[in-house]
């Protein structure tokens, strides 16, 4: 147990600093992915001239491995597009791009599963397209796709371990720094792995509980 205290407990500040960066990156990436996914989905469904562009972007984000995309965004984008200028931005941007592709398809499935009669009813009641979208479409899509949205957040957390490769000081990278200082990987890496697994487990548990409760409250069957 002495090793655990010396290598893990006494280094908790370093590890928690990394954990804070992990959470920060994941939350920024997740929020951007939700917005990006919504925009991609709406363009694909309703903006006919740009539909092809949206489809290509969605497929490209979904079908490229996250590690390859991360390297591409971190090393090619700054030269070609002039941003991102630091690795922190590159990290969350790559995570957000990939997830926005997945979320766009989740939202599209939710929107397309709505019965057409609902939209016709809303229009004949005199609602504008924006009102229909806000009052009829969005609440139902959010409810039906809530489990996939939470799941996407856990995917982001898992993929975020890779941003340590481009030297963002997240939990993974802090724990590898400790390993390089002490040359004793057993306790540090095991503790880091346990922390990640617990974190992802708790998110999916909380997500499932919240999704079930909200769905029950609004009269939808629990997942």
Partner 1 sequence: MSDALKQSLDLSMFWEYRAILWQGLIFNVLVFQFAASVALSVGLGAALLRVNRFLPARIVGTLHVELFRNAPDYIMLVWVHFVLPLLIGLVIQRRVEFHPFISAVIALGFVYSGYFAEAFRAGIQTIPQGNLDAGRAFGMSERLILWRITLPQVVRRMLPEALNLFISLFKATTIVSLIAVPDLMYNVSMVIQQEMRPLPLYTGAALTYFLIIFALSSTARAFSERWRQKILA
| Cis? peptide before 84, omega within 30° of 0 | yes
Q: How many helices (H) and strands (E) does the chain have?
A: 11, 0
Instruction: Give the C-alpha separation, 52 to 212, whole Å.
Output: 36
The minimum distance between CB 217 and partner 1, in angstroms, equals 27
Instruction: Provide the H-helix boundaries in 64-115.
Output: 66-75, 77-80, 87-112
- Cβ-based nearer residue to partner 1, 32 or 176: 176
Closest CA to 99 of 160, 140, 44: 160
Tokens read off for 161 = 């371990």
CB contact at 8 A, 86 and 133: no
Q: Which is nearer to partner 1, 35 or 205 (CB)?
A: 205
What is the rounded distance in angstroms from the CA atom of residue 173 to the CA atom of residue 157?
Answer: 14
Q: List contacts with partner 1 (CB under 8 A).
A: 59-60, 62-69, 71-72, 75-76, 79-82, 154, 157-162, 165, 172, 176, 179, 185-186, 189-190, 192-193, 196-198, 200-201, 204
Supply the minimum distance, in Å, between the C-beta of residue 88 and partner 1: 18
CB of 80 to partner 1, least distance (A): 5
- Joined together, the tokens standing for residue 220 give 């939808």
Dihedral sign (CA 195, 197, 201, 207): positive
CB of 140 to partner 1, least distance (A): 24
Q: How far is the CB of 133 from partner 1 (least distance, A)?
A: 28
Please say which residue, 26 or 43, places its beta carbon nearer to partner 1.
Answer: 26
Tokens of 50: 């740009």
Nearer to partner 1, 148 or 161 (CB): 161
> 1 or 130, CB closer to partner 1?
1
Q: Which is nearer to partner 1, 20 or 193 (CB)?
A: 193
In angstroms, give the least distance from the CB of 72 to partner 1: 5
């Amino acid at each position: 147990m002495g090793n655990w205290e010396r290598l893990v407990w006494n280094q908790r500040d370093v590890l928690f600093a990394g954990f804070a960066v992990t959470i920060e990156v994941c939350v920024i990436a997740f929020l951007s992915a939700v917005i990006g996914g919504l925009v991609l989905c709406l363009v694909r469904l309703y903006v006919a001239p740009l539909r092809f562009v949206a489809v290509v972007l969605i497929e490209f984000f979904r079908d490229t491995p996250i590690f390859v995309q991360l390297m591409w965004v971190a090393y090619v984008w700054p030269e070609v597009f002039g941003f991102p200028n630091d690795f922190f931005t590159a990290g969350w941007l790559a995570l957000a791009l990939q997830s926005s592709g997945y979320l766009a398809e989740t939202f599209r499935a939710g929107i397309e599963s709505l019965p057409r009669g609902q939209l016709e009813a809303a229009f004949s009641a005199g609602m504008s397209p924006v009102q229909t979208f806000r009052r009829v479409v969005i609440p139902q899509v959010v409810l039906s796709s809530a489990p996939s949205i939470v799941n996407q957040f856990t995917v982001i957390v898992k993929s975020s371990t890779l941003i340590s490769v481009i030297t963002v000081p997240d939990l993974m990278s802090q724990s590898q720094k400790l390993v390089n200082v002490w040359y004793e990987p057993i306790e540090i890496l095991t503790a880091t792995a346990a922390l990640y697994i617990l974190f992802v487990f708790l998110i999916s548990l909380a997500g499932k509980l919240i999704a079930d409760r909200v769905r029950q409250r609004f009269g939808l069957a629990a997942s």
